[in-house]
Amino acid sequence: MTTLLYTHPLCLEHDAGYGHPECPARLTAILNELKTGLFAALEWREAPEASLEQLTRIHAPKHVERIFARVPRHGHYAIDGDTVLSPQSGEAALRAAGAVCAAVDAVLKGEASNAFCAIRPPGHHAEPHQSMGFCLFNNAAIGAAHARAVHGLEQVAVIDFDVHHGNGTQAAFEAQRGYLYISTHQAYIYPGTGRREERGIGNIVNVPLPANAGSAELRQAWIEEIEPALRAFQPQLILISAGFDAHYLDPLAGLNFCEEDYDWLTAGILAIASEYCSGRVVSMLEGGYNLQALAASAAAHVKALIAGSPTA
Amino acid sequence: MYEFLQYRVQDAMTPEPIAISPKAKLREAEALFEIHDFNGVPVVDEQRRLIGILTKFDLLKAFSFDFHTLVPHYDQIMEQAIETVMTPYPASVEPQLPLSRLLQKMVEMRAKSLPVVEEGRLVGIIAREDVLKALRRAAIQHEAPIHEESRP
């Protein structure tokens, strides 16, 4: 079985304005890396549009309607100081969420053991009633809800290693059985949530890390908290909110992960997945704002996905 | 160094320094830093009572990552009132304090400058450069000959 790569050209058309760090070049940098011979094992697939039904499993229909109504015909519309819409943002967001749902379908049907969705806009800050933090719709939560609703799964886990806490994913899951959300992130930066005490109904595991934490702290978090939480939950599918902005060269935060950490962490997640759910993992891009570091880190992550694909 | 021991803060400080209102904007403080070589500017009320100090460090701090936005916005931050980011109740010294004691205090606090206050009113500011200048002055006047004689 192989590793799938879901993406769509429209994901390059979402444009948050001149100089905005969440820029199309991020995706281009990753895709260029994944087009090289090292990644010949990847099977590329075009992301479909998410349906309204898929979006509204997580987001209020009125909110979805409002976001699409604000997509400008020309220029930009700022939802807040960070989050900006351009004319094709709505279509890009539909492809982003659609990629994750399609990847979930493919992996659960056994077409591949795992998948990476190279998508933007990102999703983990998007709450059920509020788009924010560069994010319009919550791709990870939408994918998890899709797995439960359509495929009848009962236990879906999301692991989020973006440097910022996924307040949106937490908000979507914190009162819902059947979901586990685990996040490592830098403490005391945006969006301010993700404290250890925020535990939902026992299904939220927040591991805030102090500024300058790196490989050692990540490994400690994995061994002491993440791996035990995953084992206790016995996931039937694992989704990954793969942000690469905890990298030591990222300009938007202050953690010190390196490329090897993403390889190591991905391998660890895949080992748990093969133990509990036949290796079924769907990963998706969140943040990461230094283009070189982002491309190298995403490549390390995808390489580990390919290596961990059972018969690869 | 004997001469230096005679100096008081009032002998080396900049008297009646430029100060700024707590309601002024960060933009105005930044303009002052741009023109003058200040480390920090004292923040005073209408009666020139010292209520805070705004340093370049405080200004940098206003731009550090926090939970309000993913990316700090320059214009928005520069429109903030000084009182929101200044260091309130700052350490200060009296004009009569011996300069040697001020030096100790500066070293302990790693301060770049300290406001000088008399009866609650701001009367001066004293910076590292002022103390260095006073040390040099004291040495030139009285210690150069000792140095000469100690040569073989």
Convert the pLDDT of each residue in A275-286 to its tens digit.
Answer: 999 999 999 999
What whole-number distance in Å separates Cα of residue A312 and Cα of residue A112? 10
Cα separation, A16 vs A85, whole angstroms: 6
Written as six digits, the tokens of A18 are 């001149």
Gap between the Cα atoms of B39 and B37, Å rounded = 7
Instruction: Please say if the pLDDT value at position B60 is more than 70.
Output: yes
Is pLDDT above 90 for B1?
A: no
Q: Do B67 and A191 touch (CB under 8 A)?
A: yes
Calculate the CA dihedral of residues B52, B57, B61, B62 and round it to 10 degrees: 60
Q: What is the pLDDT of residue B145?
A: 47
Q: Mean per-residue pLDDT for A124-138?
A: 98
Model confidence band, residue A107 (pLDDT cutoffs 50, 70, 90): very high
Does the beta carbon of A44 lie under 8 angstroms from any beta carbon of chain B? no
* Yes or no: domain A3-307 corresponds to CATH 2.40.40.20: no
Return the structure tokens found at B113. 């400058």
Residue partners of A199: CB distance under 8 A and separation at least 6? A205, A206
Q: Which residues of A150-187 are buried (b: 16+ CB within 10 A; e: fewer)?
A: eeebebbbbbbbbbbbbbbbbbbbeebebbbbbbbbbb
Mean pLDDT of B20-41: 94
Spans of all domains in chain A: 3-307
The pTM is what? 0.89
* Over residues A102-112, mean pLDDT: 98
Reported as a pLDDT band with limits 50, 70 and 90, residue B141 is confident
In B95-141, beta strands by DSSP E: 113-118, 121-127
pLDDT at residue B150 is higher than 70 = no
Closest partner CB to A81 (pick from B65, B67, B76)? B76
Task: Report the alpha-carbon distance of residue A303 to residue A270 in Å, rounded.
Answer: 12
What whole-number percentage of chain B has pLDDT above 90?
77
pLDDT score recorded for residue B146: 43
Residue A125 among the catalytic residues: yes
Q: Is the per-residue pLDDT at A34 higher than 80?
A: yes
Confidence of residue B5 (pLDDT cuts 50, 70, 90): confident
Domains of chain B: 2-149 (3.10.580.10)
| pLDDT over 90 at B149, yes or no | no
* Mean pLDDT computed over every residue of chain B: 90
With an 8 Å Cβ cutoff, is B67 touching chain A? Answer: yes
